[in-house]
Amino acid sequence: MKIIHTDVLVIGAGLTGLRLAIAAKRRGHDALILSLVPPKRSHSAAAQGGMQASLGNVIKASGDSEDIHFEDTVRGSDWGADQAVVRMFVNTAPKAVRELAAWGVPWSRVKAGDREVVINGQRVTITEREESQGLVAQRDFGGTKKWRACYVSDGTGHAMLFAVSDRAIAQQIPVHERKEALALIHDGHRCHGAVVRDLITGELSAYVAKATAIATGGAGRLYRSTTNAVICEGIGSAIALETGIATLGNMEAVQFHPTTIFPAGILMTEGCRGDGGLLRDVDGNRFMPDYEPEKKELASRDVVSRRMEQHIRAGKGVKSRFGDHLWLDITLLGKKHIEGNLREVKEICHYFLGLDPVTQLIPVRPAQHYTMGGVRTDHTGESPTLHGLFSAGEAACWDMHGFNRLGGNSVAETIVSGMIVGEFIADFCDKAENDASVPMSLVHAALKREEAKLAAIMAQHGTEDATALRTRMQDLMTEKVGIFRTGEVLQQAVDELQGLLKRSYAIRLRDRSRGANPELVTAYRVQKMLKVALCVASGALERTESRGAHFREDHPRRNDADWLCRTLASWPDLEATLPSLRYEPLDVMGMELPPGWRGYGAKDYIEHPQTAERLALIEKVRRALPSASRIEIQRALMRYDFLLPKRYRGGNERIEDELEAPAAPAKQMVTA
C-alpha cells in the first residue's frame, strides 16, 4: 500500500479546497488536493446568482459597508452566528472579489447612465453614477439591505471555479482526482492525514500530512429533494465525526431554497427574485406581500420557504401528479434581461421542463439547499478538539451562517474562508512543533482498519440493499426532518434512522468486484451518511425552539433564554446508534449586535436575560463617542481585527468611502 507525504492535504477541490491549497502553496508549503471528481466539476460551479461583498458600486448599493453586511448576516443567521467570524468574513469579502477580478473572473460591470430594472413588480429607471463606470456590479438578493451580490451573469460559481482552478494549475498544485478519503489518520489528539480509496482501481493508500483540511461541501444528498450535486453526501463531515474527537456544529440547521424546479429540485437562482421575479399561486396571486409586507419575495430563504409551504398547506398550491407546487414568474423581466443575465435559468427551463421563462411560469417548490452546520472549527478553521484538522467552506461550522445563511454568502465564504483559513494552515505548518513525525504503525493500523471494513462489507451475507437504505433515509429526511418539524415526527425519524444504521451493517452486495464498484461505494457511504443524518435529526429533536431554518411547530418561538447556543455532535462510541450532543453557549455580552427582531419573519421571541444589559452598554459606548467614525465605533464594540491574518487586515476602499488608516494594535480585546 502506497504512502504519500505532503505538508497540507486538502480534501475536496471546490472553491474552498482550491483556495486553501493556493494559500498554503504561496507560503511555501506543499499542498495536495484529493477530489472525487475533476475540480471544475465541483458543486461550486452550480452557484449561479452572486457573491456578497460590500463594494457599493451600483447606485442601489450606495452607502453599503462591512457594517451593513455584518448586520444582514447576523440577522439572517437568527443570531446563531459567531459575530467575530462574521466580522472577519465581511471585511475580507471585498478583497476576495478584487483578488478574483485580478485572476480573471469576468465580473459583470457597472455601466454609467440610466437603466431599467424591476423592483417590487414595477419597472423603474435608475441612474448609475459616472464614477462607478466599469467597476464590479451588484444585484439584489434576499435578506439584505443593499444590493450586494457581485455576479457574473448567472454563472458566478462557474466563472469563479474556473479562474481559481486555473490559478491552482498555474501554481502547480497536484489534484488527485477520483480519490475518496475514507477515514482520518489520528492518534486521538493530532490528525496526520487520511486513508484514501482510488475510485477507479479500488486501491487504498495513506496520505500523510502536517495539516489536513476538509473542504468537501455540504450534505444535501441526505435528502431526497435537494439542489445539491450527487457528490454532496456529507462524507467529509462523516469522517471527521467518525474520529470520535472532532465535532459537528449545528447540523440541524438545514436550509431549504425557495425556488427549485418541481419536481427535479434543480436550483433557480435567487437572482430571479433579486432581479424582480415574483412568486404566484394557483390563482395567479402574488402572495408573499400578504405574509411579509416588508421584504416580500426577498425575505431570507428560511422565511420565504416556510411561507411557500404554508401557502401550499392553505390549499393555494398548483396540483400536479407529483404533488403541489407554486409558480416563479420572471416573465416581467423581459427577454433581453433573461437572455443576458439569467441564461442558465432559461437553459434549465428549456432542457428540463420544455418551457421558456420569457413567456411562461416556472413550477417551483422549496428543496434542501445548504448545510449551515459542519465540522466545528475555531476562527482559524482548526478543530478545537483534533489538532491539525482544519475545515472550511460549507463543510465547516466556522460559524458565520448560524441557523440561516443569506443568499450569496456561501460562495463568498468559499473564497474568503479559503483565504483566511489557508493563511492559518500556513502558520500552522510554519511552526517547528507541528513538524511532528508520524509513527508509521499508526498509519498502517489506519490502513488495515479501513481495508478490514471494506472486506467485511464485501463478505457480508446479509439481506439489506445499500441503495434501498439510502433511498429510505432520503425519504425520511425530506418528510420528517424538513421545513416544518415537530417533536413527535422527529422522534419517529430518529428511531427509524437508528434502525437503518443497524441494517446498514448487514448489506449484501450483488457486485463484489474490488475495483470501480459503484455498489460498494454506496454501501460504505450510506453507513457514514446515516450517522450524519442522525446528527441532523437528533439535533433537531433536542432543540425545542425555532431559529432560522430550524422551525419547530411545537416550539414556534426563538428562545434566546435557553437556546442561544451551538449544538456540538460527536460520535465517541463507534458501536452507538446515536451521536452524543453537547452545547456551546454564545456570549451575549460579547456581541456587537445583540439578539432582536430580524426585520422579517416572526416578531416574538424569548429574550436572553443579558440582552437588555448588553444593549444598554452598547448605547452607552455610542453616546460616549458622538463624533466617532463607524470604524471607531465598531472597534469600541467588538474587536476582531487582531483575529485576522495580517495580510487581510485593514479596510476596503469604495467610491464613496476612502481607505481608513489601519487600526491601532488591539491591546484590550473588548472595550465595551
CB-nearer residue toward other proteins: 76 or 277: 277
Tell me the HSE value of 376 on the side-chain side, using a 13 A CA sphere.
23
DSSP string over 91-134: HHHHHHHHHHHHHT----B---EEEEEEETTEEEEEEE-GGGTT
CB of 548 to other proteins, least distance (A): 26
User: Are the CB atoms for 583 and 251 separated by under 8 Å?
Assistant: no
CB-nearer residue toward other proteins: 361 or 625: 361
CA distances in angstroms from 90 to 71, 97, 651, 670, listed in the order given: 10, 12, 10, 19
From the number of C-beta atoms within 10 Å of its C-beta (0-12, 13-18, 19+), residue 670 rates as middle
Cell numbers given for 606: 424569548
* 257 tagged catalytic: yes
Cis? peptide before 263, omega within 30° of 0: yes
Tell me the HSE value of 354 on the side-chain side, using a 13 A CA sphere.
0
CB-nearer residue toward other proteins: 59 or 264: 264
Number of Cβ within a 10 Å radius of residue 437: 7
CA distances in angstroms from 354 to 261, 270, 361, listed in the order given: 12, 21, 11
CB of 225 to other proteins, least distance (A): 13
What residues contact residue 292 under an 8 Å CB cut-off, 6+ apart? 299, 303, 304, 307, 600, 601
CB-nearer residue toward other proteins: 96 or 490: 96
User: Are the CB atoms for 9 and 194 separated by under 8 Å?
Assistant: yes
CB-nearer residue toward other proteins: 221 or 543: 221
CB of 635 to other proteins, least distance (A): 17
CB of 129 to other proteins, least distance (A): 13
What residues contact residue 139 under an 8 Å CB cut-off, 6+ apart? 49, 50, 147, 149, 151, 271, 274, 275, 341
- Please report, as a single letter, which amino acid is at residue 315: G
CB-nearer residue toward other proteins: 355 or 442: 355
Which entry of 273, 325, 379, 552 is annotated as an active-site residue? 273
CB of 640 to other proteins, least distance (A): 16
CB-nearer residue toward other proteins: 612 or 659: 659
Across 191-226, b (16+ Cβ under 10 Å) vs e yields bbbbbbbbbeeeebbbbbbbbbbbbbbbbbbbbbbb
CB of 297 to other proteins, least distance (A): 14
CB of 439 to other proteins, least distance (A): 34
CB of 351 to other proteins, least distance (A): 4
Nearest to 254 by CA among 499, 530, 579, 539: 539
CB-nearer residue toward other proteins: 363 or 594: 363
Angle between helix axes 409-430 and 15-26 (nearest 10 degrees) is 30
Sign of CA dihedral 570, 572, 575, 576: negative
Q: With residue 194 as reference, give the H or E element that holds it.
A: strand 191-198
Q: With residue 653 as reference, give the H or E element that holds it.
A: none
CB of 11 to other proteins, least distance (A): 17
Distance (Å, rounded) from C-alpha 457 to C-alpha 461? 9
CB-nearer residue toward other proteins: 243 or 634: 634
Tell me the HSE value of 97 on the side-chain side, using a 13 A CA sphere.
32
Which entry of 43, 158, 257, 472 is annotated as an active-site residue? 257
Q: What is the CA radius of gyration of the chain?
A: 24
What residues contact residue 293 under an 8 Å CB cut-off, 6+ apart? none
Q: Annotated active-site positions, please?
A: 257, 273
